[in-house]
Homo-oligomer: A and B are copies of this chain.
Amino acid sequence: MSIRAAVLSIGDELTLGQVAESNARWISQECLALGVRVVQHRTVDDDRDEIARGIVQLAAIAEVLVVTGGLGPTDDDLTREALAQAMGSKALIEDDRALEMLRARFESRGREMPQMNARQALRPTGAQCIDNPNGTAPGLMARIDQSTVYCLPGPPNEMRPMFHAVISPALQARVDAAERQSLRTCAIHSCGLAESVAAERIRAFMQRDANPLVGTTASGAVVTARIRASGTAAHDGRFEQVCDEIERAWSPYCFGRDLTTLAESLGQVLRDRGEHVVTAESCTAGGIAQFITTAAGSSGWFRGGWITYSNGLKHAMLGVPREMLHEHGAVSPQVACSMAVGAAERAGVRFAVSATGIAGPDGGTVGKPVGTVWIAVADLKERDAAHRARARCFRLSGDRETVRERSVRIAAQLVRFSAMGNPDIPVLWEVPFAIAGPT
In whole Å, how far is A278's beta carbon from the nearest beta carbon of chain B? Answer: 8
Q: How distant is the Cα of A211 from the Cα of B237 in the complex, in angstroms?
A: 62
Nearest B residue to A297, CB-CB? B362
A residues 4-30 in Cβ contact with B at 8 Å: 12-22, 24-29
Among B18, B26, B217, contact of A226 (Cβ-Cβ < 8 Å): B18
Chain B residues near A232: list those with CB within 8 A: none
Chain B residues near A310: list those with CB within 8 A: 299, 303-304
Do A217 and B38 contact each other (CB < 8 Å), given the known contacts A304-B310, A307-B305? no
In whole Å, how far is A345's beta carbon from the nearest beta carbon of chain B? Answer: 12
A312 in contact (CB, < 8 A) = yes
Chain B residues near A347: list those with CB within 8 A: 313
- What is the interface residue range for chain A against chain B? 35 or more
Among B19, B37, B404, contact of A16 (Cβ-Cβ < 8 Å): B37
Chain B residues near A361: list those with CB within 8 A: 296
Asked if A187 and B25 sit within 8 Å, CB to CB, the answer is: no
Binding site for B on A (CB under 8 A): 12-22, 24-29, 31-32, 37-45, 47, 50, 57, 74-76, 185, 187, 208-209, 215, 217, 219, 226, 228, 279, 281, 284-290, 293-294, 296-299, 302-310, 312-313, 316-317, 346-347, 360-362, 400-401, 404
- What are the 9 A-B residue pairs with the smallest beta carbon separation, nearest first? A286-B286, A17-B28, A286-B289, A75-B208, A285-B293, A17-B29, A305-B307, A41-B43, A286-B290
